[in-house]
Amino acid sequence: MLKDKQVVLGVTGGIAAYKAVELLRLLTKAGANVHVIMTRAAQEFVTPLTFQTLSANPVHTELFNLIAEREIGHIALADRADLGVIAPATANVIGKIAAGIADDMLTTTIMATKAPVVIAPAMNVNMYTNPIYRDNEDKLRRHGYLFVPPVRGALACGWEGDGKLAAPEAVFEAAVAALSRHDYNGQTIMVTAGPTREELDPVRFISNHSSGKMGYALARAAQYRGARVILVSGPVNLTPPSGVELVAVESAGEMHAAVMGRAGECTAIIKAAAVADYRPAERSGAKIKKKGAELSLQLVKTPDILAELGRLAKAPFLVGFAAETGKLSEFATRKLHEKNVDMIVANDVSQSDAGFNVDTNRVRLFFRDGREVDCALMTKDDLANVILDHVASALRLLQNS
Ligand code: PMT
């Protein structure tokens, strides 16, 4: 989403200015070309050289710089920008923009740009709750400026409360969301992700290699595209995208209850989770002790959540996954019809660069009308957008029919 985008990153004077360095790293890693503008106060906290080195672009500190003015002019950055981000943003700079004051390079660029602008405030808690500040933020929100609210914590001024700059990752996510299509506005999308754990006793369980990466990529992309996202997740080591509603579960039984309980709220449900098909018939209350040379376990079927969703009288649009190690078309088509779903995303999990616990995937999509679409190897983030493109066009067709 940020690849080759021109991003203007405004850094204003506050102790959190050092966190803008990490934000710059995230933006450049995602492929953005970042142009940093620092206010005079910001330069008291971090040197322009740090930003210049990491962005590989000159850092702008003066409104009228003789060389820059000759080469690009003081409005050129505003025209060139695809996105503006101010992090940290002081009450002072927010107040100036709200009042229409453009008296330095940053405020001039932000006032002159037609690109979306993301503002991440950081300030003393009493400044943040001051009605004058609140009016300024409300006014900018009304005019379409996007805000990443500060978080609670110990502030540099000695106070405790709201005012700490949001994590660089949260500001980064807001930046990506600002540049995304918002074709999922007003839709509720449920995504299931990760493995389930079926306990044998207090110390052991049956599970699988799902890392949750595919499901979390889908949740993130849907959130960026404007959806309200319910993420039902088995145990994984991933941070949920900010703003999604996380429902953490352990077992297939818990996932079943969570999904069926919220299905009625959803326009579409995407089931990327690797749900255990069987669980131990009984869970021992105490650790099972080692005895003979063999141990037999009796397993019983777990509820097939996707199939149950397919039987609902008014089912949301249903996307199932199929993890196969061969006969991809045959098994995927069977799942499509037997589970009565609208679309199956089939991955051959015997390949080392696809399926479980890798950042990439290679899938074939199967649709109810018999269409099949091959998707070449790509990142799970890119694939999530491809899947959402297909869901969005199917939903549009359904809504127009
Ligand atoms: O999490 P990652 O490491 O990123 O890996 C991604 C993935 C390989 C887990 C993902 O791409 C994937 O293929 N997920 C589905 C895995 C799976 O359980 O496939 P299945 O063929 O066994 O199940 C078919 C469908 O039925 C799936 O949508 C599954 O969520 C659903 N199901 C299965 C069993 C069950 N009891 N209830 C279900 O709803």
Residue 195 CA to ligand 1 centre (angstroms): 8
15 CB burial (10 A radius; 0-12, 13-18, 19+): middle
**CATH homologous superfamily, domain 6-178:** Flavin prenyltransferase-like (3.40.50.1950)
pLDDT value, residue 67: 60
Q: Which of 151-165, 212-226, 256-270, 328-342 has the lowest mean pLDDT?
A: 151-165
Domain positions in the chain are 6-178, 188-400
Catalytic positions: 157
Q: What is the mean pLDDT of the chain?
A: 94
Atom 14 in ligand 1: which residue has the minimum CA distance?
272
Tokens of 32: 């953005």
Which atom of ligand 1 lies closest to the CA of 321? 28
Cα–ligand 1 centroid distance for 272 (angstroms)? 5
Query: Which atom number of ligand 1 is nearest to the Cα of residue 357?
Result: 3
Segment 262-273 mean pLDDT = 98
Candidate from 271, 351, 366 with most ligand 1 atoms within 8 A of CB, to mutate: 271
pLDDT band for 159, please (50, 70, 90 cuts): confident
What pLDDT score was predicted for residue 242?
Answer: 85
pLDDT higher than 90, residue 302:
yes
pLDDT value of position 43: 95
323 lines ligand 1 (CB under 6 A): yes
Please give the average per-residue pLDDT across 54-69, as a whole number.
Answer: 80
Nearest partner of 95 among 138, 148, 151, judged by Cα? 138
The CB of 214 under 6 Å from ligand 1? The reply is yes
Atom 10 of ligand 1, residue of closest alpha carbon = 272
Query: Could you tell me which CATH number the domain at 188-400 has?
Result: 3.40.50.10300
- How many whole angstroms from its chain centre is CA 18? 24
Q: What is the pLDDT of residues 337-382, one digit of tens each?
A: 999 999 999 999 999 999 999 999 999 999 999 999 999 999 999 9
Residue 69 vs residue 116, higher pLDDT: 116
Cα 345 to averaged position of ligand 1 atoms, centre (Å):
10
Tell which phi-psi region holds residue 371, choosing left (phi > 0), alpha (psi between -120 and 50) or beta. beta
**Position 397 pLDDT exceeds 90:** no
| Residue labelled with tokens 């940053």 | 106
Q: Is pLDDT at 398 greater than 90 in this prediction?
A: no
Alpha helices by DSSP H, 210-251: 213-224
Query: For residues 289 and 245, what is the distance between their CA atoms, to the nearest angstrom?
Result: 40
Query: Is residue 192's pLDDT more than 60?
Result: yes
pLDDT at 156: 78
Residue 173: band (very low, low, confident or very high) from pLDDT cuts 50, 70, 90? very high
Q: Which amino acid is at 113?
A: T
Q: Is the CB of 320 under 6 A from ligand 1?
A: yes
Same CATH topology for 6-178 and 188-400? yes
Q: Which residues contact 203 (CB under 8 A, 6 or more apart)?
A: 287
Ligand 1 pocket test, pick from 210, 213, 365, 381 with the greatest ligand atom count within 8 Å of Cβ, gives: 210
Per-position b or e across 70-95, b if 16+ CB within 10 A of its CB: eebebeebbeebbbbbbbbbbbbbbb
